[in-house]
Amino acid sequence: MKKLLIAAIFLLPFMAKAQAPSADVQTSGIYGYKIEDKYVYYGNVVQVDTSFTVNDLYKDSKFFITKMALVNYKITSDDKTNGVLTFDVDEPSTYKTKTGIGSEPMDIKYSVKLELKKGRYRYTFDNIIITFKNSDDKNVPHTLYELEQDKSGGILGVAVNKRVLKAMDQLFVSKIDLLTKTMSKRSDDF
């Protein structure tokens, strides 16, 4: 009996680790995106009213695109039957200057994928490319992964990458909030 107890105590840490959730998906800390190896994205599965059909959620997702008031987007996949809607967006935005008084222009390109099921949907904002001027006044595109790797703020926390990430994160969090509000209500026929 004593040997069995010692064996159980010895194996307990291994069994606990085997049952722990996967560490493949990490959150970025203060920002809302998720990181899997070098894949950085915003995404989640959201439960809605179980009476919502794929058709109801499809109408809501089309209404979401309208509510975002995007000037430059292209629908790349529109499958109403299977409940998949994907589109690419090119959107101008801004980030704060070092002083925090003014703003600098940036351009964000990204893809949105909405997968719809009865009573739930999954959203994914990925392929995020952010273009802004570097120290040579040239517009340079950066992936979200590159910015995540070099987001140090120095002593004062005023590094450009950190300010760009903050502005970009606020933009995506507001879009996700809009999506959540839009998908939680049954919209009229679109």
pLDDT digits (tens, 9 = 90+) for 28-70: 568 899 999 889 999 999 999 888 999 999 999 999 999 988 8
Structural domain for 123, as ranges: 24-183
Average pLDDT of every residue of the chain: 82
- Residue 153 forms part of a structural domain: yes
Of 130, 102, 125, 103, give the one whose Cα is nearest residue 114: 125
- Residue 169 forms part of a structural domain: yes
- Residue 5 forms part of a structural domain: no
The count of other CB atoms within 10 Å of the CB of residue 61 is 26
- Residue 6 forms part of a structural domain: no
Chain segment 61-113, per-residue pLDDT in tens: 999 999 988 889 999 999 999 999 999 999 999 988 877 788 889 999 999 99
- Residue 112 forms part of a structural domain: yes
Q: What is the pLDDT of residue 154?
A: 54
Chain segment 152-169, per-residue pLDDT in tens: 655 444 578 888 899 999
- Residue 10 forms part of a structural domain: no
- Residue 14 forms part of a structural domain: no
Rounded distance between C-alpha atoms, residue 84 and residue 113, angstroms: 7
Rounded distance between C-alpha atoms, residue 132 and residue 95, angstroms: 9
* Cross-strand partners of 128: none
The CATH number covering residue 113 comes to 3.30.530.80
Report residue 95 as tokens: 């980030």
Domains in the chain, number: 1
- Residue 62 forms part of a structural domain: yes
Q: What is the pLDDT of residue 3?
A: 60
Chain segment 117-139, per-residue pLDDT in tens: 999 999 999 999 999 987 778 88
Q: What is the pLDDT of residue 125?
A: 96
* Cross-strand partners of 122: 45, 115
